[in-house]
Structure 1
Amino acid sequence: MAGGWLGAALLGLGLCWAPLALEVSVGKAATIFTQNGSDVLLPCHFTACIGFENAQFSWWFQSAQWFESDQLYTGTVRNRNSRPVCKLCNPRVQLPEDILHKDREYNLSIILLSVDFSDSGKYTCFVKNPKEKGAEHNATITLAVVVELEKVDKTLTKIIAAVVGGVIGLLVLILVAKKLILFALKKRKEKTNECLVSSSGNDNTENGLAGSKADQKSAPKA
C-alpha cells in the first residue's frame, strides 16, 4: 500500500514538472475591440501546479504598424496573498483595484488608460516562476482601437422572441379553450342525466305502462 501511495505521489510530482505546469491565459477572445479614448482591461491569468514565489511578469506591446516591441509593465508577485510590485511602470498602465484569485490562478491583468489608434496591436503577458525551475510561459491578445464600437442589431432576435412568444400564447389559449369546452360538455351531460332520472320517476297513470298506478291496483275478487 505504501508503494502505491509513493508511486501516485511521484506521478503527481512528475505532472507538476510537465511543460504545462505553468500556464498563462488571456481569455477566450483572441481580439479585444475598444473605442478610441476609453480605458481597456487587458486580461492575464497564470496558474502554477506547485504554487509560486517571487514570480516575475511583464507586459510587452507590439504595434500593428511597427515590428519593434515596447515593454509596458514589469513586476513581481511574492505569493498569491500579495499584490504585484511594480519595477517598471508606464504611467498609462495601472492594475485593477480588485484582483480576484481562484485557487492556483493569479490575476495579472492591467488597465491601459485613454487608448488611441496607435495602441492597436499585440499585447503579450510573460510570466516566470522561479519555484518551477524558472519555467516561463506567455500569452498574446490583440487590441483593436476603433472610432465607435459596432452596435449589435437585435432586430432579428426581437422578431424571433416575438414569434416564439406568440406561438406560446396561442398554445396556452388553445389549451384554455379546450378545457372550457370539455367543462361545458361535462356540465351539459350531467344536466341531461338529471333530466332522464327525473323523467323516469314520474307516474304513468293514464297509459297503463308498467309501473303505473293502474297496475298497482289489487286484482278483483272472484
Structure 2
Amino acid sequence: MKPDRTGSSLWSWLRPEERIFKGLLLTLLLGGCWSPGAHSLEVSVGKVTSVEALNGSDVLLPCTFSSCIGYEDLLFRWSYKRNSTLELMFEATIKGPEYEPRILFSDYRVQFAGTSKSNNISIILFNVDFDDSGQYICYAKNPKEKNRVHRATYTLLVVSEMKVVDKTLTTIIVSVVGGLIGFLVVFLLGKKLILFAIAKSRERKECLVSSSGIDNTENGPTGSKGNTKQTSKA
C-alpha cells in the first residue's frame, strides 16, 4: 500500500540523491548575485594599481565596473585623497547601459575618457604636478542595490624624471641566447653539407667501380687474347 502524500512536503518524499542534486541546483540558482553579502556591483582599477608620471604630463586614471544584476541611474565619482579628506574631481550618472554619462561636476583639468558601452568610467588628469601625487578613489553607487557603495583606489606618483631601468643583464642574456641559436643553426647547416658531400663522394666511387667492372667484362679477363678470325682459304 502506497503512503498517502497528501498534505506532506514534497521534499520529504525525495530520495537522498535527489535531495542532494536539487539542493546543489538551488544553491547555484540562488548563489552569485543573489547570495547574501555578495557584491553584485564591482569596481576595479585593473591589476596594476599604481603608476609613475612625469611632472607636466597627462595621466589616465583607469576604472571599470561590472554588475550581474544590471544597473540603473548609476552614480560614479572620482576623488583625490588629500590627507584625510576627499576632494571631488569628477561626478556623473549613467541612466542605463545604452546611455552615456551625464556629467554633474568636473574639475577643469579632468576629462572623461570612458564609455558606458564597456562599463568604462576612466578619466584623464591633465598637466600633473608634484602636488597631484597620492591616492585617487573611483567610487560607484547603484540604486538597484539599495545604494550600496563600491570603490577602488589608484595611486599616482609624479616624478621629475623616469627611472632608467638597467638592461645590462637582459642584453647579456639575449646576446648569449642569440649566439647559441646562431651556433646551432650554423652547426646543423655544416653537418648537412658534410653529409651531402660524403654521400656524393660515395656515389662517385660506386659509379667508378661499376664502370671499371663493365669495361673488364667487355674486354675479357686480363692477359687473355682476343679471338682472331681464321683466314679463309681461297
The Cα of 1:186 is off from its aligned counterpart by: 0.6
Task: Say whether residues 1:151 and 2:167 are aligned partners.
Answer: no
Who is 1:113 aligned against? 126
RMSD over equivalenced CA pairs, Å: 2.6
Matched to 2:190, the amino acid is: A
The code of the aligned residue for 1:200 comes to: G
In structure 2, what is the equivalent of residue 79 of structure 1? 96
Q: Report Cα offsets for 1:30-83 as digits up to 9, x if no partner.
A: 2111111111111111100111111011112113xx222212122111112222
Aligned to 2:41: 22
Q: Which AA in structure 1 matches 2:51?
A: I
User: Using CA pairs below 8 Å that are at least 6 residues apart, which structure has the higher relative contact order?
Assistant: 1
Instruction: Write the deviation string for residues 133-163 of structure 1: whole angstroms up to 9, x where unpaired.
Output: 3232111111111111223333332332222
Mapped contact 2:80–2:136 kept (Cα < 8 A): yes
Residue pair 2:79, 2:136 contacting (<8 A) in 1 also: yes
Corresponding residue of 1:125: 138
Question: Using the alignment, how far apart are the partners of 1:46 and 1:88 within structure 2?
Answer: 20
Distance (Å, rounded) in 2 between the aligned partners of 1:57 and 1:21: 16
1:31 aligns with 2:50: yes
Letter in 2 for 1:73: F
Q: Report the Cα distance in structure 1 between the residues aligned to 2:30 and 2:147, rounded to whole angstroms.
A: 16
Q: How does 1:39-58 map to 2 (within 5 A)?
A: 39-58=58-77
Amino acid at match of 1:195: L
Structure 1 residues 198 and 142, CA gap change in structure 2 (3 angstroms) = same
Query: Given that residues 117 and 145 in structure 1 are in contact (C-alpha distance below 8 angstroms), is that contact kept between their aligned partners in structure 2?
Result: yes
* Match in the other structure for 1:90: 107
Bigger Cα displacement from structure 2, 70-79 vs 12-21: 12-21
Distance in 2 separating the partners of 1:21 and 1:213:
110
- Partner of 1:99 in structure 2? 115
TM-score in terms of structure 1 length: 0.81
Structure 1 residues 108, 206: closer, same or farther in 2, change over 3 A? Answer: closer
Gaps of at least 5 residues in structure 1 are: 215-222
CA contact (8 A) 1:17 1:132 kept: no
SS in 2 for 1:34: strand
Q: Which residue identity does 1:127 align to in structure 2? A: A
Paired with 2:104 and 2:28, the residues of 1 have a C-alpha distance of 37
- Give the count of matched residue pairs: 203
Q: Measure how far apart 1:206 and its partner are.
A: 4.2
What's the counterpart of residue 219 of structure 1? none
Q: What code does the residue aligned with 1:74 have?
A: E
Q: How far does the alpha carbon of each residue in 1:101-138 deviate from its partner, in whole angstroms, 9 at most, with x for none?
A: 44xxx111111111111111111111111122323211
Measured at CA, do residues 22 and 70 of structure 1 come closer, stay the same or move farther in structure 2, by a change above 3 Å? Answer: same
Tell me, yes or no, if structure 1 residue 178 matches structure 2 residue 197.
no
Q: Counterpart of 1:217?
A: none
